[in-house]
Structure 1
Amino acid sequence: MRAKPDRPGPGQESVWDYPRPPALVTSDALVGIVLGGVTIASTRRSLRVLETSHPPTFYVPAVDFVDGVLVPVSGSTFCEWKGAASYFDLVTPDRTAPRAGWTYPTPTRGFEALVDHVAVMPSLVDRCVVDGEVVRPQAGGFYGGWITDSVAGPFKGEPGTHGW
């Protein structure tokens, strides 16, 4: 099945205009991550990974997380574009989000800027925020995209998108 892209509105990007392989772009948007009622990260120095049919995934510099929040855990996965990912539990005094963060310690060529940056699965934390807008998690439980009003879909992960 071939997806029919939604028409972008004013000020929107279409995820169908994002490239494959993905692009890596800097962002000065104010990005925040909240877990257990605590803002665990805040930055204007994030990186966005933009891939066809996916909402952006934001990568936050590890130094912009509160000390002690990122707890390395065993196991890894492999991305055909970025390489081997390592995972973190995100931990606050009131809540732990198992394997909710990931990083690429030695990313493949073209994604070297991801070193020392951490992405967070928005569905596993209280909320992720971009310039004051609360993010809607990308559907499917596997993808880590951050849906805001600035992107038009449809998005990979929604029902009926498996074959995209």
Structure 2
Amino acid sequence: MAAKLNVQSFPRPPRLEKISRHLRITYLGKEIADTRDAYWVLETHHPPTYYLPRASVNLALTPTGRSTICEWKGSATYYRAALGDGASVANRIWSYESPTAAFEVIRGYLSFYAGAPWECFVDGERVEPLPGDFYGGWVTSDIEGIVKGRLGNLDPTV
């Protein structure tokens, strides 16, 4: 069993780390992403947010025009993903195309909200989506502590 990671001990500002964990994403049983060459961002009260190299993702992506700002990473670009058979989903994948200097290494890397319409896996374990669909953290059995999300950007009561 992996060592427990307590989100309350994660740093602020967030820490960016290269990882070798096996990340997979499937849609209706078909693999749409697979890598052991990703980064994660660890931030207080957030389960890890994973950033996958674009080359590891097998989806046609088109920017949607949606943008959000992270005080640490910069402006995020969101995408519409073509899922096949005419199906698509919007604003469930994002990247930082012009990140701040501290996050330059994830320029163009893609991050996915866990949960519908796909399933995300870390080292073979199916990920639970972060509550509230506000942040993109992936919850696995090695995550403990009180996470943000249910109340949007409000800090949880510790």
TM over 0.5: yes
Identical counterparts, % of pairs: 37
Provide the C-alpha distance between the structure 2 equivalents of 1:123 and 1:153, rounded to a whole number of angstroms: 21
Match of 1:85 among 76, 84, 92: 76
Provide the C-alpha distance between the structure 1 equivalents of 2:137 and 2:40, rounded to a whole number of angstroms: 10
Corresponding position of 1:145: 137
The alpha carbon displacement at 1:161 in A equals 8.0
Q: Structure 1: 5+ residue runs without aligned partners?
A: 1-8
Provide the C-alpha distance between the structure 2 equivalents of 1:114 and 1:160, rounded to a whole number of angstroms: 24
Q: Structure 2: 5+ residue runs without aligned partners?
A: none
Corresponding position of 2:128: 136
Q: Taking structure 1 as the reference length, what is the TM-score of the superposition?
A: 0.87
Corresponding position of 2:90: 98
Match of 1:116 among 86, 103, 108: 108
Amino acid at match of 2:148: K
The alpha carbon displacement at 1:160 in A equals 9.7
Q: CA offsets, 1:82-123, max 9 Å, x none?
A: 000101112221442211100000101210011120000113
Provide the C-alpha distance between the structure 1 equivalents of 2:79 and 2:24, rounded to a whole number of angstroms: 17
Corresponding position of 1:69: 60
Aligned-residue CA RMSD (Å) = 2.0
**Structure 1 consecutive aligned stretches of length 4 or more whose deviation exceeds 6 Å:** none
Amino acid at match of 1:119: S
**SS, match of residue 105 in structure 1:** coil
**SS, match of residue 63 in structure 1:** helix
Aligned residue pairs, count:
155
Provide the C-alpha distance between the structure 2 equivalents of 1:39 and 1:57, rounded to a whole number of angstroms: 20
Against the structure 1 CA distance between its residues 161 and 63, is the aligned structure 2 distance closer, same or farther, given a 3 Å change threshold? closer
The alpha carbon displacement at 1:154 in A equals 1.5
Corresponding position of 1:56: 48
The alpha carbon displacement at 1:157 in A equals 1.3
Does the 8 A contact of 1:69 with 1:91 survive in 2? yes
Does the 8 A contact of 1:106 with 1:115 survive in 2? yes
Q: Taking structure 2 as the reference length, what is the TM-score of the superposition?
A: 0.90
Match of 1:46 among 38, 54, 76: 38
Does the 8 A contact of 2:66 with 2:91 survive in 1? no
Amino acid at match of 1:72: P
